Amino acid sequence: MLEERTAHQIADVLIEALPYIQRFKGKTVVVKFGGNAMVDDALKHSFARDIVLMKLVGINPIVVHGGGPQIGQLLTKLGKTSNFIDGMRVTDSETMDVVEMVLGGLVNKDIVNLINQNGGKAVGLTGKDGDFIRAKKIHLKRADDEDDSAEIIDLGQVGEVSSIDPAVVDMLSHSDFIPVIAPIGVGEDGYSYNINADLVAGKIAEVLKAEKLMLLTNTAGILDKQGELLTGLSINDIDGLIENGTISGGMIPKTKCATDALNGGVNSVHIIDGRVDHAVLLELFTNQGVGTLLFRTHR
């Protein structure tokens, strides 16, 4: 039998969650899964249960995942060196084969299996399925200090999203299924392209007019210069924080992805700590949350 105090605590948690469940029922939430949450077994199962619970209470979750460390590990086993330019992996045709094997196969099916083990019905996809992620090759330009001309650097089969056809994902997410998407697109040239998972998640959220985009990271969220968590920021706030150096390094592309999604019609973006057990549910269904909430204008 539950102690009275414990029973009240459980009831309080459920009551706190109720208005959020009511508000988000029938809405689409795109979740980018990566970082520690993808490699720690306990956190992987915690994430899968969060996604299944979201589906059971009427929310339509869509999972987009990365897999950089797993790609690097397999390339090392195969004796192939990984080269990075401005944080992007140089991807020749052999490396792209490994990327497709890891992202579209091993990692994707592991996440699908985790969700299914926890009572969900997940379906794994890459952007090549139904031709729903069209990609274009990234041409990286770097200025030459000596003559002010721009050097064009070939990253190989590294791309960005040119367009998304949401029909397949929309059909799955509005049925009993949970789409799990590997960020691989196909170009007009017929080649496969490796695309940053944050960018794919943001574009899918934008095209589907998702209620929320959630980006799991290995930090508590966006931090100020004293290391304190900034819990709520508008697009204007973000611009200022980049200018003064508060937002820097790898957080810049994440916030760029967030602002693009917000400008594209997504209601809110959450940058949350994937190292926290049940981080997705805590951010969705509690008043305090576990990360940084980004929105279009001041409230």
Q: How far apart are CA 274 and CA 33, in angstroms?
A: 8
Please give the pLDDT value at position 149. 58
Q: Residue 55, CB half-sphere, CA atoms under 13 Å: how many?
A: 25
**Which of the residues in the chain have pLDDT under 70?**
1-5, 142-151, 298-299
Q: What is the pLDDT of residues 93-144, one digit of tens each?
A: 999 999 999 999 999 999 999 999 999 999 999 999 999 999 999 887 765 5
- pLDDT at position 142 is 66
Which pLDDT score is estimated for 158?
A: 92
Ordered by start, the domain boundaries in the chain are 23-295
What is the reported pLDDT for 141? 73
d(CA 271, CA 273): 7
Rounded-to-integer distance, Cα 70 and Cα 290, Å: 26
- Which three-class secondary structure string do you get for 132-157? CEEEEEEEEEEECCCCCCEEEEEEEE
Beta-carbon contacts of 186 under 8 Å, excluding residues fewer than 6 positions away, are: 127, 128, 131, 133, 134, 135, 192, 193
Q: Are strands 150-164 and 192-195 parallel, antiparallel or unpaired?
A: parallel
Q: What is the pLDDT of residue 7?
A: 80
Whole-number Å distance between alpha carbons of 17 and 9 = 13
CATH 3.40.1160.10 fits 23-295, yes or no: yes
Amino acid 146: pLDDT: 57
